């Protein structure tokens, strides 16, 4: 049985695969742009026009980049039998929702979605092993 634990945030996803006697670890970078949106600028003339910041444009770009990131992750975990998702923010919930909506066969394999703080690679491995109750024979 192939069990997969995913620790995910906007920057990267750590994927731990536990299979009979083997353990695999893989990190996938998101390639997302991080926007530092500042307020609009003022015209040099006294009552001139102001430049308005288009938040919707930035949010739409972020949504498309997240969708590409999730597609890459879905391709990586599609052969799993059981999937558990961990992460510090709402990205884990967005990922689970995307799997249920767009990749129903993967969404059906999701066993748990839990909150977990930022961790090192070894801490992620240990957490996934503990979650699945996996011990190397």
109 is a domain residue = yes
* CATH code (residue 71): 3.30.420.60
Segment 4-36, tens digit of pLDDT: 999 999 999 999 999 988 899 999 999 888 766
49 is a domain residue = no
19 is a domain residue = yes
Domain ranges, residue 106 = 2-29+54-132
Under the banding of pLDDT at 50, 70 and 90, the label for residue 56 is confident
- Average pLDDT of the chain is 87
99 is a domain residue = yes
**Cα–Cα separations (whole angstroms), residue 72 to 24, 29, 52, 67, 99:** 17, 10, 34, 9, 12
Average pLDDT over residues 41-68: 76
pLDDT of 33: 81
The count of domains in the chain is 1
12 is a domain residue = yes
47 is a domain residue = no
104 is a domain residue = yes
**Cα–Cα separations (whole angstroms), residue 43 to 32, 47, 48, 111:** 32, 8, 5, 55
44 is a domain residue = no
Per-residue pLDDT at 77 exceeds 70: yes
Least Cα distance to 129 among 29, 17, 44 occurs for: 17
């Amino acid at each position: 049985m192939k069990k997969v634990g995913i620790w995910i945030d906007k920057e990267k996803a750590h994927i731990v695969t536990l299979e009979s006697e083997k353990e695999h670890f893989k990190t996938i970078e998101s390639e997302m742009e991080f926007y530092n949106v500042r307020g609009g600028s003022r015209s040099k003339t006294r009552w001139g026009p102001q430049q308005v910041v288009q938040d919707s444009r930035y949010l739409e770009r972020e949504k498309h980049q997240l969708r590409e990131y999730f597609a890459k992750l879905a391709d990586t975990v599609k052969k799993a039998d059981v999937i558990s998702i961990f992460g510090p923010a709402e990205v884990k919930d967005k990922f689970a929702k995307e799997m249920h909506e767009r990749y129903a066969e993967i969404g059906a394999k999701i066993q748990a979605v839990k909150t977990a703080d930022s961790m090192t690679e070894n801490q992620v491995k240990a957490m996934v092993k503990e979650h699945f109750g996996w011990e190397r024979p």
